[in-house]
């Protein structure tokens, strides 16, 4: 899926106390993260979403919008937001995908369960997927790791001909692939 454009979709999200329409067009024009999780009112999911909520201001400063997606409805997202202190911190849109269209578009649907794998997708402002991470249900993700990947993707997008080595952090040295580097790293 890397370097593929996001596929069309239309859905409803719970966002800042309202139900709002969201399409793939809303994800364009800025860096976006689509963050799939299996289900509301579960166990690992609130830890991940709470971690993202704790890092949301930093993501916003980086010009990134986050969209959480599960196969629950937007009504269920509201009920969870209203009843959980952890989920109540969320300021980003929580998209309901009860038909599974978006989940299937991103190839993270567990068909026999009607749930999403833990899938994270980072799109550039053109709507092209640049980072993909998919985890099994029992393996939670880290917002800090996601932020580093987005920083690297943004750096590479802004610096033609440069690439970020393993564990790269902003301000560290990058690489400029060339014949001179072959066999010297």
Note if 164 is an active site residue: no
Q: CB–CB of 45/38 below 8 Å? A: yes
Non-local (6+) Cβ contacts of 122 within 8 A are 31, 32, 33, 129, 130, 131, 132, 146, 149, 150, 153
- Whole-angstrom Cα distance, residue 133 to residue 111? 19
Catalytic residue among 22, 34, 45, 152: 45
Non-local (6+) Cβ contacts of 79 within 8 A are 40
Query: Which residues are part of the catalytic machinery?
Result: 45
């Amino acid at each position: 899926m890397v370097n593929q454009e996001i596929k069309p979709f239309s859905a409803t999200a719970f966002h800042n106390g309202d139900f709002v329409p969201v399409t793939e067009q809303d994800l364009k024009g800025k860096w976006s993260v689509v963050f799939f999780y299996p289900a509301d009112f579960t166990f690992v999911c609130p830890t991940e979403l709470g971690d993202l909520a704790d890092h949301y201001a930093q993501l916003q400063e980086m010009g990134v919008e986050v969209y959480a997606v599960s196969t629950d409805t937007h009504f269920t997202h509201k009920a969870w937001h209203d009843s959980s202190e952890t989920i109540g911190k969320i300021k980003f849109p929580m998209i309901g995908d009860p038909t599974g269209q978006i989940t299937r578009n991103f190839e993270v649907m567990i068909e026999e369960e009607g749930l999403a794998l833990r899938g994270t997708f980072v799109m550039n402002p053109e709507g092209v997927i640049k980072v993909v991470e998919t985890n099994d249900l029992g393996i939670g993700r880290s917002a800090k790791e996601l932020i580093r990947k987005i920083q690297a993707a943004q750096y590479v997008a802004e610096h033609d001909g440069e690439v970020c080595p393993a564990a790269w952090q902003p301000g560290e040295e990058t690489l400029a692939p060339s014949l001179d580097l072959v066999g010297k790293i």
